[in-house]
Amino acid sequence: MSVRERIFQVLRARGISVMFGNPGSTEEPFLESFPRDFNYILGLHEGAAVGMAVGYSFLSDKPSLVNLHTAAGTANAMGAIVTAWHSQAPLIITAGQQDRRMIRTEPLLWGRQEEFVKPYVKWSIEPHRSVDVPEAIERSYHVAMAEPKGPVFVSIPMDGLGDECPSVEIRSVSNTTAPVSQAMEEIAQALSKANKIAVIAGEQVDASGSTADLVKLAELLRSHVFLPPIAYRWSFPTNHELFSGHLPPAIKPISDMLAPYDTVLVIGSSVFPYYPYVPGPVIREGTRVFQITNDPMMASRAATGTSVIGNVSLGIKQLLNLVKQREGSLPHHKASQANRSIPPSAEYVRERLAEAIPPNAIIFDEQVTPISVRLAESKCYFKPASGGLGFAMPAAVGAAIAQTERPVICIEGDGSAQYSIQSLWSATRYHAIVTFIVLSNNEYGILKSFGMFLHQEGLPGMDIPGIDFEGLAKGYGVDFKRIVDPDQITSSVRSAIQSHKSSLIEIPIDPTVMPLL
Ligand SMILES: Cc1ncc(C[n+]2csc(CCOP(=O)(O)OP(=O)(O)O)c2C)c(N)n1
């Protein structure tokens, strides 16, 4: 077998048969005679290709394969790779490299991609011999899948891909690390002595498929459950009576919100993910904070408390065996309601969207404020983990390619929708059904809000009038509708979701800038 055939043999053995990419001449020797049992999903920009791969990995539970075009293509994808890194998304990213027989002359398209991706991939390599590429792909699978999961990078030179290549051993690597039981017993003891417990349901809970176990644990503990600030995936059903809201993204507001609790258990998230700097105590004096995380770096940078490193699903299971049912009443929700106006406020629109979106939906949301939708299933809600825009549109398309049972919704601002707008074309081309909803206020509202927060004047580049969403949607082959009547939002969005066609719905909203916190 040739090197090329061995690469695909390894991928097949790993259950990978979809490749996301945007090709160039340096990739053509790898892509030629593309195997019939593989699907190639073309993104018209590399950010869209990587974004689709991230969304696909969230819903498929295996690494996504990406093929990019040497240095320029990898550089174009860099923002999406940063987001993949922060999302713990397992990706095997490949890119072509020039023919090594002339590489000392640094020909056109030669590039240093293997070097510059490094801070945002777990491993990066350009194998010295072409016959080592299949082995590197096999190794990259194990690196990507070991927790904390993440992207890996293999640069593949053009030459030698047709050479004879020995077989690769498909090895078994047990890649899950359990938290040590002594540390978990200490947490269980602290929980049994606590008066009032807050559990923070971090993103790793949803990623490890342990949301149902976390619900059981919270019910045993009679704890209130919060999602982390600007949670990039939801790990607790927001329709559960113990769900108590989202933590705010700053130091003082978090310690204020957690002040009523004497014990805080953060499972699978940072302690804590901050955004604007608002000084204050990290936590009220006397409150004990415990963290369970799969990421040693996350444990090492925690602002306070005791951290335990290990798989959070196993950690929750250990706690379920150790803690006893506690007494206590359950909290009640106070639902606030936004006023109707024309154009409606973003808050009012989000409330109407929450009415229209079915509980089994998968939502990709690029707006900072979370939608108040009550979702029941796991793998239901995602945001850009890095804060970098251009994630939600392609990731939604990737999720719609990975599965077709659940409706996929993508919520954007008119600004954030521009960063990977080419994803609309991939949705059309591959029949990936997504309802794209754009709240348009002709401005970068959140940046104005941040400016107000810091008392800044005279910021340039904050307004974006005149974007033709109808033209964009139709140009990429997606149905379009603009909703100006606030009373039509719920029914129009509902019927778009039920139409089984991709559509882009633009909802003009009130541009009044809201306070940041
Ligand atoms: C890749 C990237 N570039 C720039 C930014 C900075 N940024 C954050 S929010 C934002 C504006 C978002 O505007 P829009 O989507 O219209 O939402 P709005 O704030 O108006 O609700 C920008 C430019 C970013 N987060 N990521």
pLDDT tens string 456-473: 999 999 999 999 999 999
Confidence of residue 334 (pLDDT cuts 50, 70, 90): low
pLDDT at residue 331, as a whole number = 65
The answer to whether the beta carbons of residues 161 and 194 sit under 8 Å apart is no
The answer to whether the beta carbons of residues 286 and 190 sit under 8 Å apart is no
Residue nearest to atom 21 of ligand 1 (CA): 445
CATH number of 181-322: 3.40.50.1220
pLDDT at residue 330, as a whole number = 63
| Helix (H/G/I), strand (E/B), else coil: 81 | helix
Taking the centre of ligand 1 as the mean of its atom positions, its distance from the CA of residue 189, in whole angstroms, is 44
119 prior amide bond cis, ω within 30: no
Pick the atom of ligand 1 nearest to 412's CA: 15
Residue of 232, 369, 416 with the most ligand 1 atoms within 8 Å of its CB, for mutation: 416
pLDDT at residue 238, as a whole number = 86
pLDDT tens string 356-388: 999 999 999 998 887 877 777 789 999 999 999
Pocket lining: 90 vs ligand 1, CB cutoff 6 Å: no
Outline where DSSP puts E strands in 128-177. 151-157
pLDDT at residue 335, as a whole number = 62
Residue nearest to atom 8 of ligand 1 (CA): 447
pLDDT tens string 187-219: 999 999 999 999 999 999 999 999 999 999 999
Residue of 389, 412, 421 with the most ligand 1 atoms within 8 Å of its CB, for mutation: 389
The answer to whether the beta carbons of residues 393 and 423 sit under 8 Å apart is yes
Residue nearest to atom 16 of ligand 1 (CA): 415
Cα separation of 516 and 417, whole Å?
A: 21
Taking the centre of ligand 1 as the mean of its atom positions, its distance from the CA of residue 444, in whole angstroms, is 6
Pocket lining: 441 vs ligand 1, CB cutoff 6 Å: yes
pLDDT at residue 385, as a whole number = 98
Pocket lining: 437 vs ligand 1, CB cutoff 6 Å: no
Cβ contacts of 6 within 8 Å, gap of 6 or more: 133, 134, 165, 166, 167, 168
Taking the centre of ligand 1 as the mean of its atom positions, its distance from the CA of residue 270, in whole angstroms, is 23
| Helix (H/G/I), strand (E/B), else coil: 424 | helix
Do the domains spanning 181-322 and 346-508 agree at the CATH topology level? yes
Pocket lining: 414 vs ligand 1, CB cutoff 6 Å: yes
Pocket lining: 514 vs ligand 1, CB cutoff 6 Å: no
Outline where DSSP puts E strands in 414-502. 434-440, 479-482
Residue of 83, 383, 411, 444 with the most ligand 1 atoms within 8 Å of its CB, for mutation: 444
Pick the atom of ligand 1 nearest to 346's CA: 21
pLDDT (average), residues 76-81:
98
Taking the centre of ligand 1 as the mean of its atom positions, its distance from the CA of residue 198, in whole angstroms, is 32
Overall fold of domain 3-157: Rossmann fold (3.40.50)
The answer to whether the beta carbons of residues 72 and 113 sit under 8 Å apart is no
Is CATH 3.40.50.970 the classification given to domain 346-508? yes
Report the b/e string of 14-26 with b at 16+ CB within 10 A: bebebbbbbbbeb
Taking the centre of ligand 1 as the mean of its atom positions, its distance from the CA of residue 317, in whole angstroms, is 39
Taking the centre of ligand 1 as the mean of its atom positions, its distance from the CA of residue 412, in whole angstroms, is 10
Give the chain's end-to-end CA distance (angstroms, integer). Answer: 60
The Cβ-side half-sphere exposure at 304, using a 13 Å CA radius, reads 16
Taking the centre of ligand 1 as the mean of its atom positions, its distance from the CA of residue 415, in whole angstroms, is 6
Pocket lining: 389 vs ligand 1, CB cutoff 6 Å: yes
| Domain spans of the chain, in order of start | 3-157, 181-322, 346-508
A 10 A CB-CB count for 417 gives 28
Pick the atom of ligand 1 nearest to 413's CA: 15
pLDDT at residue 332, as a whole number = 58
